Structure 1
Amino acid sequence: MAASATVTDDSLYPIAVLIDELRNEDVQLRLNSIKKLSTIALALGMERTRSELLPFLTDTIYDEDEVLLALAEQLGSFTPLVGGPTHVNCLLTSLLLTPLRLALPPQDSVRLLAVEACVSIAQLLKREEVEKLVMPTLRQAVEDKSWRVRYMVADKFTELQKAIGPEITKKDLVPAFQNLLKDCEAEVRASAANKIKDFCENLPTEGQQQIIMTHILPTIKDMVSDANEHVKSALAAVIMGLSPMLGKENTIEHLLPLFLAQLKDDCPEVRLNIISNLDCVNEVIGIRQLSQSLLPAIVELAEDAKWRVRLAIIEYMPLLAGQLGVDFFNEKLNSLCMAWLVDHVYAIREAATNNLRKLTQKFGKVWAQNTILPKVLAMSSNPNYLHRMTTLFCVNALYEVCGKDITTKIMLPTVLRMGSDAVANVRFNVAKTLQKIGSTLDYRQVELS
């Protein structure tokens, strides 16, 4: 291999010796010569180390892992030998990047680390240096034969975007991101889909909407019907976040059809992820645009055979209630909330009681008195003792938000009557309930009654 330094006088003798030793077939001799680098740098001085020794190493060292490791260890202490922190960039640009990011090693694990290192290195370099030294590596990594390397690029994409800057992002990273969204491996597509919202938010403000509409949205439309559930679920978790960036008209025209399609998806996680992020759309177009399409999806999720799916939709119910309004809730969703109270899974019944408390906090205690308490207290006479127990659990969840008057006048009589229940466990929970709500009761009204 030709060295970048030409030996023309005795002043370059240390490099001439190093050339001969590094070209030797004996690995041990090459390792020994690497260990002499600091001595040679001291002999040459800081300026010549930067201008002669490092360029020579850049053009010459394409070696076995053992030699490269020894070289890396030596360079770790080279900062003072090149002139201190102000000149440390020459170690990166002249040595670390050129031979290793331009000719990526065959091992997957090393290429994975190279992608991660690009993030840290790009933050230290000027735009011209990033374009010349970092981008060739990233372009190769996006098209790497190993899906794990491409996955790493997708996973680190927004970090790379911030490190590289807006101009290179528009020119290089936008098409690279499109390729990752269309990758043949589902894991890569899912990882890239997770980054859509953040990637679009980090685009330059000027031209952001146009880039999304022209380059990102067409790919997203194809991903809505992706064959892989993980990809669709990842997309559903972030797609709502594009609404504030695209504005009302574009959201209604382009995103709303995608939301509606995902609300009908066979995968429960896709429907859940759409419902859980409705607040983004509500801020832009208002929830009424989605209300009629939401209802069938909510009902299906509420009755899903998997109890964890039912649990998830219960947790989102207060958010939905606040967005849809009390009238829509009373008409369309109230019956679902009451049905969960008698679910055969205890975790669902427990979540349903907490849901009633959150709904009361949102709609008020008068709403609770007129809408849910009559149904809750009626369960105290149900032949199934688990339903009677649920009445007590609801009292425990509601007494604080309902306040002293409602607790004393409406809930307390039912609790006292249940004190004579035939099931010991019910009577025991009556005692626990009375102990808990005792501080809230209006004892003057208790005495009068």
Structure 2
Amino acid sequence: DNRSNQNQQKSNNINVHYFTTLYMFSSCTSSPQPPLESLATVEETVVRDKAVESLRKISQEHSPVDLEVHFVPLVKRLSSGDWFTSRTSACGLFSVCYPRVSSTVKAEIRQHFLTLCSGDTPMVRRAAASKLGEFAKVLELDYAKSDIIPLFTALASDEQDSVRLLAVEAGVSIATLLPQEDLEALVMPTLLQAAEDKSWRVRYMVADKFSELQKAVGPEITKTDLVPAFQNLLKDCEAEVRTAAANNVKVFCENLPEDSRETIIMTHILPCVKELVSDTNQHVKSALASVIMGLSTILGKDNTVEHLLLLFLVQLKDECPEVRLNIISNLDCVNEVIGIRQLSQSLLPAIVELAEDAKWRVRLAIFEYMPLLAGQLGVEFFDEKLNSLCMAWLIDHVFAIREAATCNLMKLVEKFGAEWAQNTIVPKVLGMANDSNYLHRMTTLFCINALSEVCGQEITTKHMLPVVLKMSTDQVANVHFNVARCLQKIGPVLDSSALQAEVKPVLEKLATDQHMDVKYFALEAISVLALA
């Protein structure tokens, strides 16, 4: 089986190379189509698609006369082929030749496309449905209404849901072409029917394309038809549909008519959003969390404080990490609307509560967002409200928290700068070197490992190095070998004089320690730093 798959892949690669070469030589050959026509009928989808892509490019090099003499007959042969493969390939070629041929040939092309749309083979109808919108864009408006709309209606009612969902996508494209009165009469009934289709995949496509549809139909149809449909999609029984609809909440609300936007959101959309906040599916909640903060800029300060903050709090405390991350990632949206003071009074207590949760995994989860949160809120607010919290994590009783805390400090320094570190966190970190708990003393070394590079040579040499050297006389062997490892880590940041005069003597002393671990790491540091 593996050998067969390899041979098949090799065959595909040869074919792909072949038609690529054909395309390259199209300008110097009198009739490149027959080989490409053959490739457009093969069983391998990737080869057919590439052949069609090449034919589409070649069509642009043809004059209108050459199109009618050479290219259109090829398209007709493909569309009338015995195998579905050739007919599916033909679907991608109608739109590239239609605009530049005579009216008589145009009529023939439209008839061939109609035949493919109503064929017996689902694969061909799928291919036709996928190109329906593209074909509609190159047709004259009268023919779009007389020919394309009936095809769209038929495909949107096809027995195969894979055909119906592609028809929905085409319907959105068609909607952009028609005047409002035709749109409402000819397209909207079919699209609204698709929004209630028995297949969740069709409803999903409607939900996924909803913002595009909204832009195409305009404000009046949005108010009368799309708002109720959007409500239903937000309440759909399938999580995938609710997820797609939730992703579009912000954009849909932004594009509502300004004179009725707030009323529609508060009356029709927000009640659905409140239900989704507590949805049983984490993907739905995550999708909503990625956009819900954006509603604050649409609804303004009063509505945000009164109606949205509670929803933000619920999602901020959600058990799903991605939901919490999406809320924290968009705090700046709310900050711009309600201000830092209101934000600190409402959401910050929840963040602190999570950061002090009894379950260490919860603490770790919220902790990992702290650099992002710091960037959202700014250095002054961080120092006032969150700095002490971050420092407290350095002495947490769970090692995973302490370890993450050191990485967190490095990210904060990258965000706020070395000067901030020197004035704010470095003194606190170095103060832990005198802690009675040896685990806390070792945390000092771990922090120095993480901070030395981002803080730079001056701060490392002047403030951190003396503390590390002093800790080489600690009574605990674990501290000793971590001193050796720390000196190896910060060595590249130091200048050669500090290495020779201060680091080398300490490492040489540790290399004679009675504990094998201390001796091993000291000798390793001497070797790595080339101090032998």
Q: TM-score when scaled to structure 1?
A: 0.70
Deviations 1:97-147 (A, max 9, x none): 314435511212222222223233334444444334432221111101112
Return the letter of the residue paired with 2:350. Answer: A
Letter in 1 for 2:235: K
How big is the shift at 1:280? 0.5
Determine if contact 2:457/2:493 at 8 Å carries over to the other structure: no
TM-score (norm 2): 0.61
Residue number among 425, 435, 445 corresponding to 2:491 in the alignment: 435
Alpha-carbon distance, 1:211 to partner: 3.0
Give the conservation status (yes or no) of the 8 Å contact 1:395–1:411.
yes
Distance 1:244 1:112 in 2: 33
Gaps of 5+ in 1: 1-27, 29-34, 39-44
SS in 2 for 1:105: coil
CA distance in 1: counterparts of 2:447 and 2:186, whole angstroms = 64
- Give 2:103's aligned amino acid: M
Q: In 2, distance between residues paired with 1:70 and 1:149?
A: 13
> C-alpha offsets along residues 51-101 of structure 1, whole Å, 9 cap, x if unaligned?
9x869x69xx8663379759959x99xx9xxxx996455664433431443
Q: Which residue among 394, 409, 412 is the counterpart of 2:462?
A: 409
Quick one: which of 248, 252, 269 aligns to 1:216?
269
| Cα distance per residue 1:362-392 (max 9 Å; x no partner) | 6565653454223322444678887656434
> How far apart are the structure 1 equivalents of 2:283 and 2:123?
43
Matches within 5 A, 1:126-145: 126-145=179-198
Partner of 1:353: 406
Counterpart of 2:149 (choices 88, 97, 106) is: 97
Whole-angstrom CA distance in 2 between matches of 1:189 and 1:419: 60
Equivalent residue letter for 2:147: L
The SS at the match of 1:286 is: helix
Verify the 8 A CA contact 2:297 2:333 in the aligned structure 1.
yes
The alignment partner of 1:111 has SS state of helix
How much has 1:154 moved relative to structure 2? 1.3
Worse overlay, 312-321 or 172-181: 312-321
C-alpha displacement of 1:429? 2.3
Q: Give the Cα–Cα distance (whole angstroms) in 2 for the partners of residues 184 and 426 of structure 1.
A: 57
Deviation of the 1:412 alpha carbon: 1.4
Q: Which one-letter code corresponds to 2:157 in the other structure?
A: L
CA separation in 2, counterparts of 1:305 and 1:105? 56
Q: How has the CA–CA distance of structure 1 residues 306 and 359 changed in structure 2, closer, same or farther, with 3 Å as cutoff? A: same
Partner Cα separation in structure 2 for residue 48 and residue 413 of structure 1: 88
Counterpart of 1:65 in structure 2 is: 121
Q: RMSD across aligned C-alpha pairs, in angstroms?
A: 4.6
Given that 1:407 and 1:440 are in contact with CA atoms closer than 8 Å, whether structure 2 keeps it comes out as: no
> What SS class does the counterpart of residue 184 from structure 1 fall into?
coil
Q: 1:235 to 1:86 in 2, by over 3 A?
A: closer
What do the CA deviations read for 1:196-244 (whole angstroms, capped 9, x no partner)? 1122223344543343233322322333344444433332322110111
Give runs of aligned pairs for residues 9-408 of structure 1, distance below 5 A: 46=103, 64-65=120-121, 69=125, 87=139, 92-102=144-154, 104-265=157-318, 269-302=322-355, 310=363, 312-321=365-374, 329-330=382-383, 332-341=385-394, 349=402, 351-360=404-413, 365=418, 367-380=420-433, 390-399=443-452, 402=455, 405-408=458-461
Partner of 1:8: none
What's 2:35 paired with?
Answer: none
Tell me the distance in 1 between the aligned counterparts of 2:318 and 2:126: 55
* Larger RCO, structure (CA 8 Å, separation 6 or more): 1
Once residues 134 and 345 of structure 1 are traced to their aligned partners in structure 2, the CA distance between those partners, rounded to angstroms, is: 61
Counterpart AA for 2:269: I
The answer to whether the 8 A contact 1:288-1:324 is kept is no
Cα distance in 1, alignment partners of residues 166 and 454 from structure 2: 54
Aligned to 1:13: none
How many angstroms apart in 1 are the aligned matches of 2:148 and 2:175?
12
Match for residue 15 of structure 1? none
Report how many aligned residue pairs link the two structures: 398
1:165 to 1:385, Cα distance in 2 relative to 1, 3 A: farther
**1: CA distance between counterparts of 2:209 and 2:258?**
22
Residues 111, 149 of structure 1: 8 Å contact kept: yes
What per-residue deviation string (whole Å, max 9, x for no partner) do you get for residues 320-349 of structure 1?
335556676456533432344466888755
Percent identity for Structure 1 against Structure 2: 65
- Quick check: 1:240–1:281 contact (8 Å CA) kept in 2? yes
Change (3 A) 1:379 1:127: same
- Mapped partners of 1:441, 1:202: distance in 2: 65
Distance 1:258 1:68, change over 3 A: closer
The aligned counterpart of 1:31 is: none
Q: 1:99 to 1:398 in 2, by over 3 A?
A: same
Counterpart amino acid of 1:115? V
Between 418-427 and 129-138, the greater mean CA deviation after superposition: 418-427
Contact 2:243-2:283 at 8 Å conserved across structures: yes
Q: Is the 8 A contact 2:233 2:245 kept in 1?
A: yes
Gaps of at least 5 residues in structure 2 are 1-81, 83-89, 95-101, 504-532
SS in 1 for 2:211: helix
Give the partner amino acid of 1:155: D
Q: Which has the larger displacement, 419-428 or 237-246?
A: 419-428
